[in-house]
Chains A and B, each alone.
Chain A
Amino acid sequence: MEYKTVKIISQEKLTDDIMSLWIEWDGRASVVPGQFINVYINDPARLLPRPISICDVTDRGLRMVYRITGEATGTAELSGYQAGETIRITGPVGNGYPLDDIMGKKTVLMGGGIGIPPMLYLTKKLVGGCTVILGYRDSNTFLMEEFENAGAKVFVATDDGSVGTHGTVIDALRESGIEPEVLCACGPKPMLAGIKAYSADHGIPAYISLEERMACGVGACLGCVTSTTHTDPHSHVKNARVCVDGPVFLSDRVEL
């Protein structure tokens, strides 16, 4: 993990509240899908960094796709930064998905809402293709074509039924008839709880990326813990830090 100031290459709106931000990135610094970046907001009145998942890393740079969480928020300020401006970051943070354990298996990736972006980089890393199930609120199906272009077989579920399955990503998985050997997921907690239950029912491993309110973002403050089923080797209690011990956990090792 490094703390550095980086230049913004470009920033564009994907939907009303979803932004795509590219920053300069030294390609030699290896990034594992599922890791994230702490972005420090330039306004000193906003004390805490924003943890934002990594959507892609290419020769061009590193891409983050994030949601503007409201008016006058840190992400709203970030969305106003232009190409050529700089931001401070730490990263890449966290463990990411264990590529060696999922490569070559019948893997289904599931992304819900702002949990979709990290699945794009994972899709690109899974040589030979994979199945992706994307859950959206409505017909604003941001990044969907990019998953198709990356060679994934894509299924969609929407809350309002406007595209694909009317329901959850689990509903879409059942409808597809696919029987996965491994699940990789990122999304809101109720979705992850559903995937944890599916994983237990079907006896397959599910790697889920958790989201939690963070402060330091580097493992020091113990703000962003998740309850674990076993005593954590670092904390010595049944709590693990989402930022650096995760954000990806085997679903049967955490309590949601």
Chain B
Amino acid sequence: MADMKVTMCGVEFKNPITVASGTFGSGMEYDEFLDLNRLGAVTTKGVAAVPWEGNPTPRVAETPSGMLNAIGLQNPGIDVFLERDIPFLKKYDTRIIVNVCGHSEEEYLAVVDRLNDADIDMMEINISCPNVKEGGIAFGTDPKGVEAITGAIKSHAKKPVIMKLSPNVTSIADIARAAEAGGADALSLINTITGMKIDIRRRTFLLANRTGGLSGPAIHPVAVRMVYEAAQAVSIPIIGMGGVATHEDAVELMLAGATMVAVGSANFGNPLATTEIIEGMERYAEDMGIKHIADIVGRVK
């Protein structure tokens, strides 16, 4: 069998597959269906310094080959997370990537400081959150802002920092370069693409928040393009994500330049999506005579 191991920022993962933050909780719910030990890493749902209530409902809507969500980053806060979720995940032989959200630099740093002493492998910073000091504009949409927040987090973080990039920008390459310039150890992309759905009979927005993040197979080609462009622009490793539903989708993102791949809303349509994708990648490697899966990263011709 092919060697499925990959290494990112000095951390070794047994295979390239993790989950997209927010689609898998901290793994507790999916533990009923699959063996969490099979995953390269579990990326946890975004956690903030204090509990967040999230948005009113409806928070989700199905769309062709995808879905919109506007959960609003509901989370129980870092205290509960460290007491409950990390000890749960430590029972398993998988890496832990903790996703961090905040409304301001101080809020991000408060979480980062707490995670410095926690038994985790990496932290992933969600910069698609609204910045309250900038009138609710997401941190991740302006290169200067991305470089600044990355630098601030890096000056506190004692674990490798992954900056999770928003696709809702004109040039993903510029944003990727800004995160690298700010000192990011790795990038993850793409977050969801902002969308909207209207109920034509009620003439209302389907989501209470009006807009939501589009995910699912519908956005996969956008993810492949953006991962490729980011990989061309920077030399730090990338976790690719966006509409991955099959092992073919995962391999595509690796060929485009991703060292690891996250499975997101596909978990909703098939609770075994992650393990089936890992098995599919093992078969692909076998069929193609690939000895080390890491060798395919960025190898699109």
**Residues of chain A having any CB pair with chain B under 8 Å:** 1, 3, 40, 44-49, 74, 88, 90, 212-226, 234-239, 244
- Determine the chain B residues whose CB is within 8 A of the CB of A45 once the complex forms: 64-65, 217
Contact of A46 among B45, B62, B271 (CB under 8 A): B62
Stretch at the interface among B29-37, B98-106, B112-120, B234-242: B29-37
Residue with the highest number of chain A CB atoms closer than 10 Å, among B24, B57, B77: B57
Given A47-B217, A48-B268, 17 more A-B residue pairs with CB atoms under 8 Å apart are A40-B270, A44-B65, A44-B217, A47-B65, A47-B216, A47-B265, A47-B269, A213-B58, A215-B69, A216-B267, A220-B24, A221-B25, A222-B71, A224-B59, A226-B57, A235-B51, A236-B77
CB of A221 within 8 A of CB of B61, answer no
* A contact face: mostly helix, strand, loop, or mixed: loop
Do A47 and B67 contact each other (CB < 8 Å), given the known contacts A215-B265, A237-B51?
yes
> How many residues from B make CB contacts under 8 Å with A?
41
- Determine the chain A residues whose CB is within 8 A of the CB of B52 once the complex forms: 237
CB of B74 within 8 A of CB of A213, answer no
Alpha-carbon distance A225/B59, docked complex (angstroms):
9
| Shortest CB distance A99–B (Å) | 24
Q: With contacts defined as CB atoms under 8 Å apart, how many contacts are there between chain A and chain B in the complex?
A: 112
Docked complex: B211-270 residues within 8 A CB-CB of A: 216-217, 245, 265-270
Alpha-carbon distance A11/B88, docked complex (angstroms):
42
| Shortest CB distance B187–A (Å) | 24
- Determine the chain A residues whose CB is within 8 A of the CB of B216 once the complex forms: 47
Chain B residue nearest to A226 (CB atoms) is B57
Alpha-carbon distance A212/B33, docked complex (angstroms):
23
Query: Top 8 closest A-B pairs, CB basis?
Result: A236-B76, A223-B60, A220-B29, A220-B25, A215-B60, A213-B58, A216-B268, A219-B29
Alpha-carbon distance A3/B267, docked complex (angstroms):
12
B66 at the interface (CB under 8 A from A): yes
Do A237 and B29 contact each other (CB < 8 Å), given the known contacts A90-B271, A212-B57, A222-B59?
no
Alpha-carbon distance A49/B268, docked complex (angstroms):
7
CB of A218 within 8 A of CB of B29, answer yes
Chain A residue nearest to B22 (CB atoms) is A221
Chain A residue nearest to B68 (CB atoms) is A215
Contact of B25 among A44, A47, A219 (CB under 8 A): A219
**Complex A-B: 16 CB contacts under 8 Å:** A45-B217, A47-B217, A49-B269, A74-B62, A213-B61, A215-B60, A216-B23, A220-B25, A221-B25, A221-B60, A222-B54, A223-B57, A225-B54, A234-B76, A237-B54, A239-B74
B9 at the interface (CB under 8 A from A): no
| Shortest CB distance A69–B (Å) | 11
- Determine the chain B residues whose CB is within 8 A of the CB of A234 once the complex forms: 76
CB of B265 within 8 A of CB of A223, answer no
- Determine the chain B residues whose CB is within 8 A of the CB of A220 once the complex forms: 23-25, 28-30, 267
- Determine the chain A residues whose CB is within 8 A of the CB of B272 once the complex forms: 3
- Determine the chain A residues whose CB is within 8 A of the CB of B267 once the complex forms: 216, 220
- Determine the chain A residues whose CB is within 8 A of the CB of B54 once the complex forms: 222, 225, 237, 239
- Determine the chain A residues whose CB is within 8 A of the CB of B300 once the complex forms: none
- Determine the chain B residues whose CB is within 8 A of the CB of A226 once the complex forms: 57
Alpha-carbon distance A220/B271, docked complex (angstroms):
11
